[in-house]
């Protein structure tokens, strides 16, 4: 028996993750209809009341009853969120209060009329964007939608009804719905409801019946609604089959590509491709090839191109802008093969047939060379429709260039006149061709065409008999004139093409150089702060704007940075940036979300989600409105986000390492000092207990016990003081209280400390009388000197002296403490200043290895240094160097 085929693990895991995500996310149900009045709002309210009876927390966000009594009756008893009044055209209009809904957080919100356009001043331009934010917040939504509001059907609805619907909803929103319920009503019944005033008021009803609500329109819209609902059910079936591992019986792996340009007909191409992709259940892309004609686009052309690409994104397609490297057809097919495209959608040619025969047809060439890729031809021209008239595309140079072109022909004629009697006619023709070449390389295609015509005319008039007339007696010269004119036109076209390619190459080079420069500066930046400053500087240079990078705090709230190159943000702008960070979607100027903002905000997406927000405030009109500049801006944001994420991870790694080191140090410290703490405590406890519990103890014995307890208490005091000092050094809490004071005072105070009372006689002090004053913290320097003397006395032989010396040289003062002990092992001169580091001779001596580390911290805090060397006569020598300054002038003594 044949074993069943096991599913591949990666697709299976992907399906499981998708199902888990779908199960966790908030639910969207759309009540879908063919036209107003079919009962969508009534059906939504009826189901909402059923859900409330089941214990679900249901509130009304927006419900438009349009005066229908039965609809108003269903809405009664349901909690309604207060509307937000916004000023528009001299009046206040109620709008959905998104913030109130997010604060209330019900289980289900009712949102009527999904395609509604919000009043200026709302957070989002469209109500469907409010719905998407509610879903992102985990709130279920019921909503209503008519078929004519679907973005992909806008042109079809316009053809059927003659009405261009302005309020549209992207098809991706309907695809996001977990359930689509078709609310259907036959056209005759709907017309009866219209006459009875159950859809519109009587005057509005009569006008609607004469225009939109004609029976033919309603039949066509009903068919569209049924067909689209069937596609939605089919998509659910495909998801079910995929989740159950049922193999499809139809061809799989379709990918569609539509070629778009700045023409208005590209909008129809995009919508048609979206409908085809929806029927096939296939992904699709919108491609624009940036050819040399892109350089001649007007601002209106660029705006239309950007709108067409945004429409493709809005409808759920992927967009791509590539730079033409050769013929348009070759670029399209190369991209299609690279992206595994199976079907290409292009527009019908709009140029005259004779022009296609003369200049070639993009559609014909695409079909001829497409190979295994299917080509679908619908209304519109691929890439550049409608084509500009030939004369308008040619005559784009300023008048000055045409005058210089005519002057060049005059100069060529003058030169030819000088050579006329000494050479052949072919040489005269070459002189004119040279002039045409010069005009073409300097002034463009239009002036070169003018130079070609003038050159032929001048050649005929001046150098072909009969002279000084345009008559031609030898018809062989007609062929010469024709060849000369054609050569001139060809030279002009080729030269113009080379110039256009050179301009495009310069544009590519500038964009590549901008990214390269950004990458270099980001790589050189150390730390997130320097990286952000470099990114803002590059953004300001490239896009003629001021930038800001906002990063979240521990609570996820964005903080405005204190950088000089960042533009200031008020509460409104900061709120827009916070929305971008929370939803990882662009917003602000030039977008559909919060378009009233002064700046454009882009999310900085890292591997783990949004890590910040990049804001750009343009100096004038935004330079990133064009597709290539927008792609460059997105590349800037992506590169900045990746570099910033690496820097933040590095900083977090360094912080984690410091924490781990501190934890290890703390454990080692506790382990090291536990014995040193127990020993003096044990001695103190034993001595005091013996003194208290032995009443007949002699006075000398009692005194000896108390003296032993005192010595151990002093030792314990030094150990605890060192622990406190090292803690202050580690936490950065060491505040200096500097004063100008003599070094002799600090040395005397250290020698008078009780810790050294019994050993002070071993210390020899030799300090010059003319030592300058030093700015230092007397208490800390006394502690430094005490630790060094304790260390020297501890490691020196009994009764051997310890020498203290000092001298001033240049701008520093050096303090020396030398002993006659075993010295410092080679290579240990730096390590002994580390925490818990102890010398080889310290095994039988008490101590925790903190004293020298504290000395180094105190010296560093005084902008000085400490070093350990071996004395030439034997023993160790510690040198503390402190900077000297200019002490304040002493007040004069009164007589």
- What confidence tens digit (pLDDT) does each residue in 195-224 have? 766 666 555 656 566 567 777 778 888 888
pLDDT band at 252 (very low <50, low <70, confident <90, very high): very low
**Sign for the pseudo-dihedral over CA of 137, 140, 144, 148:** positive
Q: How far apart are CA 573 and CA 798, in angstroms?
A: 75
Per-position DSSP letters for 180-205, written without gaps between them: EEE----HHHHHHHHHTTSSS-HHHH
The tokens describing 310, both together, are 């945004």
The reported pLDDT for the residue numbered 61 is: 92
pLDDT of residue 622: 72
Alpha-carbon dihedral of residues 286, 287, 288, 289, nearest 10 degrees? -170
Do residues 676 and 719 make contact, with C-beta atoms less than 8 angstroms apart?
yes
- Residue-wise pLDDT for 570-602, tens only, equals 888 888 888 888 888 888 887 777 777 888 888
**Residue 84 DSSP label:** E
326 upstream amide cis, omega within 30 of 0: no
Q: Which two tokens stand for residue 316?
A: 């759920």
So what's the pLDDT on residue 565? 65
d(CA 244, CA 238): 10
Q: Looking up tokens 């240094």, which residue turns up?
A: 865
Contacts for 174 with CB less than 8 Å, ≥ 6 apart: 30, 32, 145, 150, 180, 228, 232
Q: What letter does residue 126 receive in the DSSP assignment?
A: B
What is the C-alpha to C-alpha distance for residues 382 and 508, in angstroms, rounded to an integer? 23
| End-to-end CA separation in angstroms for the chain | 123
- How many CB atoms sit inside 10 A of residue 631's CB? 15
pTM (2 decimals)?
Answer: 0.56
Alpha carbon distance 576, 553 (integer Å): 17
Give the C-alpha distances (Å, rounded to integers) separating 782 from 382, 746, 772, 818, 882.
86, 6, 18, 17, 14
CA-to-CA separations, 367 to 268, 325, 376, in angstroms, rounded: 20, 20, 9
Residue 636: CB atoms within 10 Å: 23
- pLDDT confidence band for 3 (50 / 70 / 90): very low
Classify residue 121 as left (phi > 0), alpha (psi -120 to 50) or beta.
Answer: left
pLDDT computed for residue 29 by the predictor: 92
How far is the CA of 734 from the CAs of 376, 515, 895, in angstroms?
Answer: 77, 45, 43
Q: Report the 10 Å Cβ neighbour count for 527.
A: 13
pLDDT value, residue 250: 44
Handedness of CA 268, 274, 279, 280 (dihedral sign): positive
What pLDDT sits at residue 251? 42
At 341-397, the pLDDT tens digits run 888 988 877 666 666 665 667 788 888 888 888 888 886 444 444 444 444 444 556
Q: Mean pLDDT over residues 399-423, rounded?
A: 85
Distance CA 359, CA 657 (A): 68
Residues 6 or more apart in contact with residue 235 via CB below 8 angstroms: 175, 281
DSSP string, 245-280: TPPPSS-----EEEE--SSTHHHHHHHHHHHHHHHH
Tokens of 269: 């191409």
Q: What is the DSSP string of 570-600?
A: -HHHHHHHHHHHHHT--EETTSSBSTTSSSE
């Amino acid at each position: 028996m044949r074993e069943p085929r096991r599913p591949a693990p990666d697709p299976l895991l992907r399906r499981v993750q998708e199902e888990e995500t779908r199960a966790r996310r908030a639910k969207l149900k759309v009540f879908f209809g063919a036209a107003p009045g079919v009962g969508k709002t009534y059906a939504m309210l009826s189901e909402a009341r059923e859900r409330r009876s089941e214990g679900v927390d249901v509130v009304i966000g927006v419900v438009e009853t349009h005066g229908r009594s039965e609809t108003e009756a269903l809405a009664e008893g349901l909690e309604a969120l207060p509307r937000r009044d916004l000023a528009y055209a001299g009046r206040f209009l109620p709008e959905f209060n998104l913030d109130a809904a997010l604060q209330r957080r019900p289980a289900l919100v009712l949102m009527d009329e999904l395609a509604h356009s919000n009043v200026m001043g709302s957070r989002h331009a469209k109500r469907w964007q409010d719905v998407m934010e509610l879903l992102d917040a985990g709130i279920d939504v019921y909503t209503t939608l008519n078929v004519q509001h679907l973005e992909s059907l806008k042109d079809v609805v316009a053809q059927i009804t003659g009405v261009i619907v302005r309020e549209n909803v992207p098809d991706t929103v309907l695809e996001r719905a977990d359930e689509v319920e078709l609310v259907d009503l036959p056209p005759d019944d709907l017309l009866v409801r219209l006459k009875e005033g159950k859809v519109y008021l009587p005057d509005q009803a009569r006008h609607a019946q004469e225009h939109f609500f004609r029976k033919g329109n309603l039949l066509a819209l009903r068919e569209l609604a049924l067909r689209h609902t069937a596609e939605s059910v089919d998509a659910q079936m495909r998801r079910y089959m995929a989740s159950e591992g049922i193999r499809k019986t139809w061809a799989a792996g379709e990918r569609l590509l539509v070629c778009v340009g700045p023409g208005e007909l590209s909008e129809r191409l995009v919508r048609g491709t979206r409908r085809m992709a929806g029927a096939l259940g296939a992904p699709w892309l919108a491609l624009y090839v940036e050819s040399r004609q892109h350089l001649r686009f007007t601002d209106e052309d660029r705006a239309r191109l950007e709108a067409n690409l945004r429409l493709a994104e809005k409808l759920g397609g992927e967009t791509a802008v590539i730079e033409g490297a050769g013929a348009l057809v070759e670029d399209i097919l190369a991209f299609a093969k690279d992206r595994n495209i199976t079907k290409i959608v292009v527009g019908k040619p709009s140029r005259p047939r004779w022009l296609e025969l003369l200049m070639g047809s993009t559609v014909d060439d695409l079909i001829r060379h497409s190979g295994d890729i299917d080509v679908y031809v619908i209304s519109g021209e691929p890439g550049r429709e409608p084509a500009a008239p030939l004369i308008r595309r040619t005559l784009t140079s300023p008048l000055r260039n045409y005058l210089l072109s005519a002057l060049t022909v005059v100069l060529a004629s003058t030169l030819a006149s000088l050579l006329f009697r000494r050479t052949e006619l072919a040489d005269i023709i070459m002189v004119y061709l040279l002039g045409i070449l010069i005009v073409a390389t300097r002034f463009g295609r239009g002036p070169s065409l003018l130079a070609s015509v003038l050159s032929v005319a001048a050649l005929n008039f001046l150098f072909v008999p009969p002279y000084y007339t345009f008559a031609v007696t030898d018809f062989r010269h007609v062929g010469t004139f024709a060849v000369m004119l054609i050569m001139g036109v060809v030279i002009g076209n080729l030269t113009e093409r080379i110039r256009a390619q050179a301009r495009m190459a310069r544009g590519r080079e500038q964009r590549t150089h901008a990214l390269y420069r950004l990458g270099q500066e980001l790589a050189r930046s150390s730390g997130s702060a320097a990286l952000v400053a470099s990114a803002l500087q590059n953004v300001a240079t490239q896009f003629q704007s001021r930038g800001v990078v906002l990063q979240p705090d521990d609570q996820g709230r964005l903080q405005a940075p204190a950088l000089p190159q960042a533009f200031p943000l008020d509460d409104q702008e900061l709120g827009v940036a916070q929305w971008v960070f929370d939803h990882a979607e662009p917003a602000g100027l030039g977008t559909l979300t919060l378009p009233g903002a002064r700046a454009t905000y882009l999310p900085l997406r890292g591997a783990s989600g949004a890590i910040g927000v990049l804001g750009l405030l343009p100096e004038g009109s935004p330079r990133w409105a064009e597709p290539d500049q927008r792609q460059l801006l997105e590349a800037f944001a992506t590169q900045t986000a990746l570099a910033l994420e690496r820097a933040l991870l590095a900083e977090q790694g360094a912080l984690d390492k410091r924490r781990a080191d501190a934890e290890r140090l703390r454990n080692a410290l506790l382990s090291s000092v536990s014995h040193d703490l127990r020993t003096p405590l044990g001695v103190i406890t034993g001595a005091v207990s013996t003194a208290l519990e032995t009443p007949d103890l002699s006075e000398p014995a009692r005194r000896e016990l108390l003296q032993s307890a005192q010595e151990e208490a002093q030792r314990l005091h030094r150990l605890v003081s060192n622990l406190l000092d090292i803690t202050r050094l580690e936490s950065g809490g060491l505040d200096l209280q500097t004063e100008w004071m003599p070094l002799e005072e600090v040395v005397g105070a250290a020698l008078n400390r009780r810790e050294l009372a019994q050993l002070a006689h071993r210390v020899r002090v030799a300090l010059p009388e003319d030592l300058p004053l030093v700015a230092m913290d007397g208490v800390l320097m006394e502690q430094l000197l005490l630790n060094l003397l304790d260390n020297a006395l501890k490691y020196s032989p009994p009764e051997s002296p310890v020498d203290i010396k000092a001298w001033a040289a240049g701008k520093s003062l050096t303090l020396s403490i030398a002993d006659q002990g075993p010295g410092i092992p080679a290579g240990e001169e730096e390590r002994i200043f580390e925490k818990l580091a102890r010398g080889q001779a310290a095994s039988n001596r008490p101590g925790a290895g903190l004293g020298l580390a504290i000395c180094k911290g105190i010296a560093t805090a005084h902008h000085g240094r400490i070093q350990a060397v071996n004395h030439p006569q034997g023993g160790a020598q510690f040198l503390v160097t402190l900077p000297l300054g200019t002490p304040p002038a002493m007040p004069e003594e009164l007589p």
